Amino acid sequence: MSKAEEFEVVVVGAGFAGLYMLHRLRGLGLSAVVLEAGEDVGGTWYWNRYPGARCDVESMQYSYSFSEELQQEWRWSERFASQPEILRYANHVADRFDLRRDIRFSTRVVSAAFDDAAARWTVRTEGGAVISARHCVMATGCLSNTRMPDFPGLGSFHGKSYHTGQWPHEGVDFTGLRVGVIGTGSSAIQAIPVIARQARHVTVFQRTPNFSIPSRNRAMDEEYEHSWKGDYPARRAKARQMRTGIDYPVNPTPALEVGEAERRREYESRWERGGTAFMAAFGDLILDEKANETAADFVRGQIRATVSDPAVAELLCPHNHPIGTKRICVDTDYYETFNRENVTLVDVRSAPIEAVTPEGLRTAEAGYKLDALVFATGFDAMTGTLLAMDIRGRDGLTLGEKWEAGPVTYLGLMTAGFPNLFLVTGPGSPSVLSNMIVSIEQHVDWIAGALAHAQARGIETMEATAEAEAQWVEHGNEVAQRTLYPRANSWYMGVNVPGKPQVFMPYIGGVGAYREICDAVAAKGYEGFRLEGRRVSVAAE
Ligand code: NAP
């Protein structure tokens, strides 16, 4: 048995959450180590290097706000930053704040167990290292556990296959190849137009069409950059209060309160503006089915106007979920790509994929000869990465047992029975429904505040109470049920992973409202958490 190294805090993951957490822990004077499976920093932006990968939150907003110097000095080259640029930014932050010396790369955590008697976590890595820490922060990301369909014959394919979420670092040259892309979610919708410009032929295997809005991406306009940089504190403050953590124009009017012509004007102007602000065209798009249908109908009209073959256009039109209840996609030339001679759309809802063959793919209807396969088949989202580790709380209870019927947390930050284990942007928090960096900063700041509170009072353990957790889960479900979200077979609901409990995982109450709740909880001495220490014992329920 290796001897455990001791720290106050162990952080798992060196993406945007882990990097900022480490910076804050240093500020508190707490000894900390970050364990990262990848060979470098960046998390999601380290792994997702597929062609066309890009953030769909504007770069001026998808960036840290904690350092005025950082936000002034960093220059984004495009309205929506590409993956390589975001990765450069993560590296810049790691260097600028001298973070690397406390990060262990190529270090995958396999287990974390809470020792009741010592009130400490023991974290073990694949390489056999053992870390003992008072607190453990899971900064493991929500979309970090890739999902491959279990098609028969997967290993028999003669060509190369790739998953968008584990793309080779050296890139892939598709020149002259017949490429099959499986999936039409955000990743595929970004990758397909880029692959189609290079490959001999692209066959897109679509099971469910998605709604996608053009990004209208462009080079960064200097005036626009200056307008943000000159007003960053106010704009960041505004974004933190928004439902999505993004500062964009929100029209609170219900969609059916205005006439058809005005409604159309609003949709057209947002379609021209580009990006996810489309869903803020009216105040009730995710609440009211009829209102939602007006937006869905508008987008279907745009698809039909763009795609020249009416049969292909019809196949690309989503009908099985309200717009926005599956993550809305943002693209560059996605629908236009289906007008290319070298792109074919195959409906695998009516004729599902039956097997991967040595030559390519076979559906219930036909065989397809392919040289390369791209799986854009998504992730075991929000819980997959956490449950892939053997996490054990009090009395050896595993997180898998605790979350058997779906994830339960208090504020998405902690789960009862697992003292001193913090989750960053976990299930039960706005997380994937928001600008992730805004939510990450909010969570990390809150956790840092809780640790400072504990440090000042000699508190050894902090744990969500079962009652507070149950109330939070009930509240989260109630808010979700008021929306159209539960109607979609989405990864938000866990539907994409066979056997996964189907519950709406993120908190839909909005980033601003959620922040107020978290702040109020802290202001009341961490209401709903049990704080215990050797010198002090405070029941703050
Ligand atoms: P995804 O949205 O889960 O899409 C997976 C796709 O694979 C779906 O079209 C799914 O079809 C299909 N699929 C899965 N199994 C299949 C099977 N057996 N047969 C046929 N099709 C199958 O995954 P993703 O595109 O990687 O995106 C995940 C999330 O990452 C996004 O929603 C977003 O939050 C984030 N993301 C963001 C950006 C951005 O910022 N621009 C870019 C990429 C990803 P069904 O729908 O029928 O299940």
d(CA 172, CA 158): 16
- How far the first Cα of the chain sits from its last, in Å, is 40
- Residue 203: the pLDDT is 98
Q: Quick one: CA torsion of 510, 513, 515, 518, rounded to 10 degrees?
A: -120
Cα–Cα distance list, 217 to 54, 55, 72, 228, 248 (Å): 10, 11, 22, 17, 16
Q: Quick one: CA torsion of 495, 498, 503, 507, rounded to 10 degrees?
A: -60
Count how many Cα atoms sit within 13 Å of the Cα of residue 383 in the half-sphere of its side chain: 30
Ligand 1 pocket test, candidate residues 55, 164, 187, 361, most atoms within 8 A of CB: 187
Q: How far is the CA of 506 from the centre of ligand 1 (A)?
A: 17
- Residue 537: the pLDDT is 45
Q: How far is the CA of 163 from the centre of ligand 1 (A)?
A: 11
Nearest CA among 2, 19, 127, 14 for reference residue 64:
19
Q: How far is the CA of 376 from the centre of ligand 1 (A)?
A: 6
Burial of 235 per CB tally in 10 Å (0-12, 13-18, 19+): middle
- Residue 535: the pLDDT is 43
d(CA 299, CA 279): 11
Q: Quick one: CA torsion of 321, 327, 331, 333, rounded to 10 degrees?
A: -20
Let me know if domain 5-145+381-540 sits in CATH 3.40.190.10.
Answer: no
The backbone region for 153, taken as left when phi is positive above 0, alpha when psi lies in -120 to 50, beta otherwise, is left
Cα angle, residue 224 at apex, residues 220 and 230 outer, rounded to 5°: 125
- Residue 3: the pLDDT is 86
Q: How far is the CA of 55 from the centre of ligand 1 (A)?
A: 15
pTM metric for this prediction: 0.97
Sequence spans of domains, the chain: 5-145+381-540, 154-375
Q: What 3-state class would DSSP assign to 28?
A: helix
Residue identified by tokens 């469910």 is: 208
Q: Give the residues surrounding ligand 1 with Cβ less than 6 Å away.
A: 54-56, 143, 149, 164, 182-188, 190, 205, 207-208, 327, 330, 348, 353, 376-379, 432, 491, 496
- Residue 2: the pLDDT is 67
- In the structure encoding, which two tokens stand for residue 91, read together? 């590296």
193 close to 334: Cβ distance less than 8 angstroms: yes
Query: How many whole angstroms from its chain centre is CA 392?
Result: 25
d(CA 273, CA 532): 52
Q: CB within 8 A of 290, min separation 6: which ones?
A: 255, 256
Q: pLDDT averaged over consecutive 10-residue blocks of the chain (541 residues)?
A: 89 98 98 98 98 98 98 98 98 98 98 96 98 98 96 97 97 98 98 98 98 98 97 97 97 98 98 97 98 98 98 98 97 98 98 98 98 98 98 97 98 98 98 98 98 96 98 97 96 95 96 98 98 63 41
17 close to 444: Cβ distance less than 8 angstroms: yes
- Residue 167: the pLDDT is 98
- Residue 536: the pLDDT is 42
* Protein residue closest via CA to atom 46 of ligand 1: 208
